[in-house]
Structure 1
Amino acid sequence: MLQQLFTPSVQHTLDLIGIFVFAISGALLAVRKNFDVFGIAVLAEVTALGGGLFRDLIIGAVPPAAFTDLGYFLTPLLAALLVFFLHPQVERIQTGVNVFDAAGLGLFCVSGTTKAYEYGLGLTASAALGLATAVGGGVLRDVLANEVPSLLRWDRDLYAVPAMVGATMVVLCIRFDALTPVTSGIAVVTAFVLRLLAMRFHWRAPRAWNRRSTVREEDPAKATA
C-alpha cells in the first residue's frame, strides 16, 4: 500500500474543498446558461463528482465514494445553493475561485493516480485515470451544457496539461520507488503552479502544424445547427 500524502481526516477535508470549488464552477456555468434550480444542482454535482465516479467505476471501487460518503454528495448541493442566491457576488471573486480550482486540480490528479495504482492498474493507466479524475467532471459539465469541453478548445488556458504533469510525476515516483508524502506534495504543487502560470500568462496548446491562416475558425452557432 502506498503512503498517503495526508492523514485520512485531512485528505477528506481537502477532497470536500476541491469538490466544493469544482461544484461552484459547474453551478456558475448553469446560471450563465439560464438553467433552473434543478439544472444548477445537476451541473454542480456532475462537475464535482464526475471524475471521481468515472475513476472508481473503472478500478472497481464500488460503490463509489460519492455514494458512501454523504458529505461528498451534499457539498455540491451547498455550492449550488450558494450560487443560486449569490451568483453575482461569486462571479466577482472568480479569480479566487480559479485559484482554488487549480489547487483541486493538483490534488485530484495526484490522489486519483495513486488510488488507481493501489487498485492494481499499471503506471500508464494510473496516470490516465489521475488525469480523468481531475478533468472528467469539467468535461461532463460542458457536454451537458452543450459546449465544446474547455480542455479541447485552443482558446482556453492550459488545464489538462498541468494535471498530466502531476500524474506523470506520481507514476515516475512509483516507478523508482520514490513516492512519499513529500514527493506527492511536490507533484500537487507542480500541477497547481503550472495551472496558475497558464492562467496568468495565457499559455495554450499549439494547434495543427503548418495550419494555414486562411482557414476560417468554425462558427460555434453553425456547428450546432
Structure 2
Amino acid sequence: MDTLVLALDFVGTFVFALSGAMLGVRRRLDLFGVLVVAFAAATAGGMTRDVLIGATPVAVLSDWRYPAITLAAGLIAFAWAPAIERLQQPVRLFDAMGLALFAVVGTQKALDFGIPPPMAAGLGMLTGIGGGIARDVLLAQVPLVLRAELYAVAALAGAALVATGHWLHWPPLPCAIGGALLCFGLRMMALRFGWHLPVALQSRDGEPPESMR
C-alpha cells in the first residue's frame, strides 16, 4: 500500500504540475514563471498537509523526485503546449486527475499518521485543493475551488470513501481506487452537466437584493 500511495503521489504531482504549467503558458508567462506555477500547483496542498500532521521535513523538500517531476512537467508543457492543447480542455482534465489522486493520497497519509478518519478526509480534501488555490492566486484569479462546479465537494467525496473504508476495515487498495474514481467522476460529470452548489441571489445590477442588505 505504501508503494501504491507513493506512485499515486508522483502521478498526481505530475498532472497537477502539468495543469499549472499549461495555465501559465496560456497566460503568456516566461519559462521561469511557468515552472514556478507548476511547482506551486503540484506541491502546495501536500506541503500544507505535511505541516499540519507533523510529517516534517515535508516530502517535497526531503525527496528530490518531487521537484524533478514538477520541473519535467513544466518543461513538457512549455515545449509542447500546442500539442497538449489539442486535448479537450487539457487544464481541467489534468486538474481533475490531480484532484482525485491527491485527495486519496492525502487522506491515506493522514490516516497513516494516526489522524482520525473524519479529519483525515478533510486533510485529503485540503491536499487536493491546496495546489489549485496557490496556482490561481499566483495568476491573480479567483481560485477555482470557490467558483467551479463541485470541486472541493468532489475531493471530499473521494477522501471520505477512503476514510470510511479505513474505519470499517475494508481493503485499502479498492478504497483508494474507488475514492479516486469517485472524485474524478464527480468532477468530470460536474464539468459536463454544470453541476454546482447554490450561489447567493443578486439583483440585475450585481448588488445583493434589497432584502439581504
- Shorter-chain TM-score: what band? 0.7 to 0.9
Contact 1:24 1:83 in 2 (8 A): yes
Aligned-partner Cα distance in 2 for 1:30–1:120: 37
Q: CA 1:217–1:85 in 2, change beyond 3 Å: closer, same or farther?
A: farther
Q: What's 1:105 paired with?
A: 99
Q: 1:207 aligns with which of 195, 199, 202?
A: 199
Contact 1:18 1:100 in 2 (8 A): no
Contact 1:19 1:75 in 2 (8 A): yes
Q: What's 2:137 paired with?
A: 143
Q: 5+ unaligned residues in a row in structure 1: which ranges?
A: 219-225
Q: What's 1:223 paired with?
A: none
Matched, 1:15 2:5: no
Residue 179 (structure 1) shift: 5.0
SS in 2 for 1:111: helix
* Matching residue's letter, 2:22: L
Q: What's 1:222 paired with?
A: none
Aligned-partner Cα distance in 2 for 1:51–1:180: 22
Q: List structure 1 segments (4+ residues) > 6 angstroms apart after TM superposition.
A: none
Equivalence map 1:115-126=2 (5 Å): 115-126=109-120
Task: State percent identity of aligned pairs.
Answer: 41
Equivalence map 1:76-115=2 (5 Å): 76-95=70-89, 98-115=92-109
Residue 35 (structure 1) shift: 1.9
Q: CA 1:92–1:212 in 2, change beyond 3 Å: closer, same or farther?
A: same
Q: CA 1:81–1:212 in 2, change beyond 3 Å: closer, same or farther?
A: closer
* Matching residue's letter, 2:197: A
Aligned-partner Cα distance in 2 for 1:217–1:195: 30
Q: CA 1:147–1:81 in 2, change beyond 3 Å: closer, same or farther?
A: same
Aligned-partner Cα distance in 2 for 1:69–1:149: 28
TM-score of the aligned structures, taking structure 1 as reference length: 0.83
Contact 1:48 1:137 in 2 (8 A): yes
Residue 32 (structure 1) shift: 2.4
Q: 5+ unaligned residues in a row in structure 2: which ranges?
A: 209-213
Residue 170 (structure 1) shift: 2.1
Q: CA 1:29–1:199 in 2, change beyond 3 Å: closer, same or farther?
A: same
Matched, 1:161 2:171: no
Matched, 1:133 2:127: yes
Q: What's 2:24 paired with?
A: 30
TM-score of the aligned structures, taking structure 2 as reference length: 0.87
